[in-house]
Chain A
């Protein structure tokens, strides 16, 4: 959003704040009538009426006739033109869906919890139905959706388009997610790893903006990294670059789900964290650990600090190899902030070569858990732009 030029506390800044409130309410709840906007924002109907008139004049909202409780009413929705982009990000335990007119202009979003080892069909079915519902609620149809970016938390083979690993996401093994989603949604689909999409999201509108060489580390149930080299996402020859979660930390460590031994993920992945707390705290989920740590529970903090330390050692290897300017930490665990970042910085200072860490900036994600969805929208936008250009070239040559 544009920074408000008005002085704080002035009438103009109040008006600006109210305008944002109306837009936020529309983004959160979809199309509404003016009365409903008044109810949900707590603004008076007269104020809402003025706001809507202004926003309409500025082209920020669209008005459509509708009926509520048998009376005529005007349905207000965020202006989308006729181009809608969608982003879908699968996590290990949930799926998040967003529709947008651009990476910075999310029109609506939804999240749904998923079972731990769900199969691909179930995940894709629920995601596509959530998307249909979101599009419907914003007063559009699926034909307005021009491109969809889909992220899955596993390496994606950039040659075959299939889920690249046999064992990282067992329910999704060998499935061509792109093809499946294209059939379900009837729109062009681009598919990528969620860590890469997280990096893409941060690069376009988050903590990696303007950075030419950097990395995005996704800390959730698993660990992944998206690499930015020369201002572009680096995917490697087959799309599996940045699998930092499966760097070997301890040659004699526990067996990882990827089949190797002592991977970073066996130390800081969600199962490792919950197992470490099993004896003292009982069964906790990742979200419990985060909430407890923020409330000051020493055991949970300790486990996260240790995770930060291990992460620092692994990222030190990455820093030595690539010498990035910025390392951004995102994903669910980023919510605990310095609890994990401080030990990570210390371990980095100890393990990486000083000249590489001297210029290094370790930051928290700007978009927190939303980076991958935003990245999916960015990917969708790029795909749409490419398709558009293609159409123009075809039209001009024929």
Chain B
């Protein structure tokens, strides 16, 4: 190690998911250009940026909703391509979208196993599904009174919990949460943040998209800032503060990009 005052926030763990030079164009709009992003297991990476910075496009590219025009994706050290959300899920990338996509009229068990119900001799295996539901919810130390009540009667935080529990069904390596604390009360936010910490401790890589700087700073290990479809810096949360990140989001500082570029040149020179 060289004795620099601020060590580069390069991940020392091997990334479970990494994206290189991702670009995506919608007609005249260049939504993403040359974006790099990575997340390791046991790590929470926050993805932040202004409206239209390309967060959602990047999330959808990872989740298999969009195919990027350019760029490569590596999962678990091997090159991977995802052509559909189902493929991403099979690969081990689970996504909880902002609208949660829960069926209000169904109970918790039915929601968790929607589309992948368990069968026993031709009929639904309710017992196993209910047991599995409780196991998942306990793993998250979730506060759900009953798994047999319709999701409509749960609070915002509890619904978020159910959506996250559902994403954990296939035992994914990476969990992506899109704005999980938007429109939640403070107690529910606390619940979700505790949940993010628990996901991290259970060894998942967590990608957290959020606008709330204090939520991000409370649970994330690193913060990746997008601005106008480009990387505008990756920050190590223990070495930075909210002001610096907000400056990068708004474009008050763009030196993060040049810093990164110069660092890369340096490391290439060393090699």
Contact = CB atoms under 8 A, between A and B. Distances in A.
A285 B221 CA distance: 9
Interface in B208-262: 213-214, 217-219, 221, 236-238, 241-242
B186 A133 contact: yes
Interface in A9-62: 28-29, 32, 35-40
B221 A287 contact: no
A29 B221 contact: no
A21 B193 CA distance: 26
B245 to A, nearest CB: 11
Interface stretch (B29-37, B54-62, B75-83, B142-150): B142-150
Interface stretch (A109-117, A225-233, A248-256): A109-117
Contact of B13 (A68, A113, A282, A291): A282
B143 A113 contact: no
A133 B187 contact: yes
Given A68-B153, A114-B218, A116-B237, A29 B145 contact: yes
A199 B212 CA distance: 35
Nearest to B197: A113
Nearest to A36: B145
A283 interface: yes
B170 interface: no
Interface in B149-191: 149-150, 153, 185-187, 189-190
Given A68-B153, A111-B194, A283 B236 contact: yes
Contacts of A29: 143, 145
Given A115-B214, A118-B214, A130-B187, A40 B145 contact: yes
A126 interface: yes
A115 B210 CA distance: 14
B4 interface: no
Task: Name A's interface SS.
Answer: helix
A116 B187 CA distance: 20
Contacts of A279: 1
A114 B238 contact: no
A36 B146 contact: yes
Contacts of A291: 201
A110 B143 contact: no
A134 interface: yes
Contacts of B197: 113, 287
Contacts of B218: 93-94, 112-115, 118
B12 interface: yes
B242 A115 contact: yes
Which bucket holds chain B's interface residue count? 20 to 34
Contacts of A126: 186, 190, 214
B24 interface: no
A222 to B, nearest CB: 15
Nearest to B220: A115
Contacts of B242: 115
B11 interface: yes
B113 to A, nearest CB: 17
Contacts of A40: 144-146
B42 interface: yes
Nearest to A136: B187
Contacts of B1: 279
Contacts of B185: 129, 133
Nearest to A33: B145
A359 interface: no
A179 interface: no
Nearest to B219: A113
B13 to A, nearest CB: 5
Given A282-B11, A283-B221, A112 B186 contact: yes
Interface in A109-163: 110-118, 122, 126, 129-130, 133-134, 137
A361 interface: no
Q: Counting chain B CB atoms within 10 Å of each CB, which of A111, A122, A126, A283 scores highest?
A: A283
A35 B146 contact: yes
A288 interface: yes
A275 to B, nearest CB: 10
A117 B241 contact: yes
B50 to A, nearest CB: 20
B188 to A, nearest CB: 9
A134 B146 contact: no
A47 to B, nearest CB: 15
Interface in B1-40: 1, 11-13
B223 to A, nearest CB: 11
Contacts of A94: 218
8 contacts: A39-B145, A39-B146, A115-B218, A116-B217, A118-B217, A126-B190, A274-B238, A288-B42
**Pairs A-B, 6 closest by C-beta atoms:** A39-B146, A282-B12, A115-B217, A112-B190, A36-B145, A133-B187
Given A39-B148, A113-B190, A288-B201, 20 more contacts: A36-B146, A36-B149, A38-B146, A39-B146, A69-B150, A112-B186, A112-B190, A112-B218, A114-B214, A116-B237, A116-B238, A118-B214, A118-B217, A126-B190, A129-B186, A130-B186, A274-B238, A282-B11, A283-B12, A287-B197
